[in-house]
Homo-oligomer: A and B are copies of this chain.
Amino acid sequence: MDKKKITEHRKLYERMLFDDVIPFWMKYSPDRQHGGYLHMLDRDGTPYSTDKFAWPHAREVWFFSTLCDEVEKRQEWIDMAKLGWDFIMKHFFDSEGRVYYSFTREGTPLSIPRRIFSETFVIIAGVRYARVTGDHKAAETARTLYRKVVDWAKTPIAGSQKAIHGSRPMIAQGIPMIMLNVTREMMLLDGETPELMAYSDGCIDTILNRHLHPERRLLFENVAPDGSLMTDYPEGRFLIPGHALEAAWFIMVEGMARGNRTLIERACELTLWELQFGWDKEYGGITYFMDSEGEPALALESDMKLWWCHNEALLALLHALLLNGGEEFEQWYDRVHDYTFGLFPDPEYGEWIGYYHRDGRVALRVKGSNWKGCFHLPRHLLFGWKLLSKMESGGF
């Protein structure tokens, strides 16, 4: 990218992050009455439900703590993080230390722990919160939970948790992908210990050598435990391009940290493959769910365009541009950028509308839900802004 364009994009990210997205969540999500966040927010920021869900809640704590960690320890951001972390410590855990899935506004648990994803988001929240506040209990909470999650993650849980164990064994890409990110966050707390590095290596190996099939140029969400394709079954044909692109930049981060050029190259290759396969040639945008063999994708939301897939795609492309460069990545970056920034931002009320039909009509107008919260978009803008700033100052 030429310098002028880099600066232009850096400024766009900066404006959107600091003048739009952060103010939106700071204005509408604090629950001053009961603590924690309201995150079921309508287009204009009004809550349409006061229930609280572990995923978006913990992720918002992660975001405001990370903002302090990566930008500056601004008091209002620390206060935001504290509001959420205190709610976690007060209400999130059952008697065995697992994390409930959802809560009333007051903090009464509404649904049982499902593990392991709720827990992983509490870990990264705890790590960053401990780093910026020095809260030892947050650090210990993250460490304890990390050990549990590593243990739970040993059981393959591809597909439904209602599957009969052993009836059709598969492993799910979501586990090594999220654990790769969580382990990198743990290293911010405890350093690149041999244990953490070995675990991280295992995650990368599972993603690149079992889920990724170079002969197909695709990353399969569910494969047999030995990595064999299971394409006779719908779940074995299941693809989430946005998920694969998220894994791609997690692996590029590891490549950078390890100085491992091969990792970076493989993740760059994966990025291109997923964009080539997942891009909607008719309407543009990254398709949510796909079937690797072109058989019907059964989930009714399959052909939709979701904000987060585009955040992850742009982060993968920005990493690839910084670490690798090249015309092909820049062309893809322009294409995804134009589509994304043309469709999702809400000029009227700020932040992004997250859910569009295939053809670009709004499907769900909300800013926050049990899934959408203060996470993919602000993370993309924050990390993207930092990557663009690095490029602007001439790389590393």
A residues whose Cβ falls under 8 Å from a Cβ of B: 40, 42, 48-51, 100-101, 104, 108-112, 114, 160, 162-164, 167-168, 232-234, 295-298, 300-304, 355, 357-359, 361, 363-366, 369-370
Among A50, A114, A364, A369, max chain B CB count under 10 A is at A364
Query: Which of B114, B168, B357, B365 is A104 in contact with, Cβ under 8 Å?
Result: B168
Chain B residue nearest in CB terms to A364: B296
Q: Please judge, given known A-B contacts A296-B42, A300-B355, whether A111 and B160 are in contact too, CB under 8 Å.
A: yes
Are the C-beta atoms of B364 and A298 separated by less than 8 Å?
yes
Please indicate the chain B residues that have their CB under 8 angstroms from the CB of A304 in the complex: 300
Q: In whole Å, how far is A191's beta carbon from the nearest beta carbon of chain B?
A: 37
Provide the bound-state CA to CA distance between A369 and B366, in Å.
30
Please indicate the chain B residues that have their CB under 8 angstroms from the CB of A49 in the complex: 233-234, 295
Are the C-beta atoms of B300 and A114 separated by less than 8 Å?
no
Query: Which of B42, B109, B168, B232 is A295 in contact with, Cβ under 8 Å?
Result: B42
Are the C-beta atoms of A301 and B298 separated by less than 8 Å?
no
Are the C-beta atoms of B298 and A369 separated by less than 8 Å?
yes
Q: In whole Å, how far is A283's beta carbon from the nearest beta carbon of chain B?
A: 11
Q: Please judge, given known A-B contacts A104-B168, A164-B111, A167-B110, whether A300 and B300 are in contact too, CB under 8 Å.
A: yes
Q: In whole Å, how far is A299's beta carbon from the nearest beta carbon of chain B?
A: 9
Q: In whole Å, how far is A216's beta carbon from the nearest beta carbon of chain B?
A: 18
Provide the bound-state CA to CA distance between A184 and B365, in Å.
42
Query: Which of B358, B361, B366 is A296 in contact with, Cβ under 8 Å?
Result: B366
Chain B residue nearest in CB terms to A112: B162
Please indicate the chain B residues that have their CB under 8 angstroms from the CB of A162 in the complex: 101, 111-112, 114
Please indicate the chain B residues that have their CB under 8 angstroms from the CB of A370 in the complex: 298
A sample of 9 inter-chain contacts (CB < 8 A) reads A48-B234, A50-B232, A108-B167, A109-B164, A110-B167, A111-B163, A298-B364, A300-B300, A300-B364
Q: Please judge, given known A-B contacts A42-B295, A296-B42, A364-B296, whether A112 and B369 are in contact too, CB under 8 Å.
A: no
Chain B residue nearest in CB terms to A50: B232
Q: In whole Å, how far is A355's beta carbon from the nearest beta carbon of chain B?
A: 6
Are the C-beta atoms of A363 and B296 separated by less than 8 Å?
no
6 extra A-B contacts, CB within 8 A, seeds A111-B163, A296-B364: A48-B295, A49-B234, A51-B233, A104-B168, A300-B355, A301-B301
Among A111, A296, A357, A358, max chain B CB count under 10 A is at A296
Provide the bound-state CA to CA distance between A110 and B365, in Å.
37
Please indicate the chain B residues that have their CB under 8 angstroms from the CB of A364 in the complex: 296-298, 300, 302
Are the C-beta atoms of B233 and A163 separated by less than 8 Å?
no
Among A101, A163, A295, A300, max chain B CB count under 10 A is at A300
Chain B residue nearest in CB terms to A100: B164
Q: Please judge, given known A-B contacts A300-B304, A303-B363, A364-B300, whether A164 and B112 are in contact too, CB under 8 Å.
A: yes
Q: In whole Å, how far is A151's beta carbon from the nearest beta carbon of chain B?
A: 22
Provide the bound-state CA to CA distance between A256 and B138, in Å.
65
Provide the bound-state CA to CA distance between A51 and B168, in Å.
11
Chain B residue nearest in CB terms to A47: B295
For the complex of A and B, the 9 pairs showing the least CB-CB separation, nearest first, are A300-B301, A48-B295, A111-B162, A296-B366, A110-B167, A49-B234, A112-B162, A111-B163, A109-B164
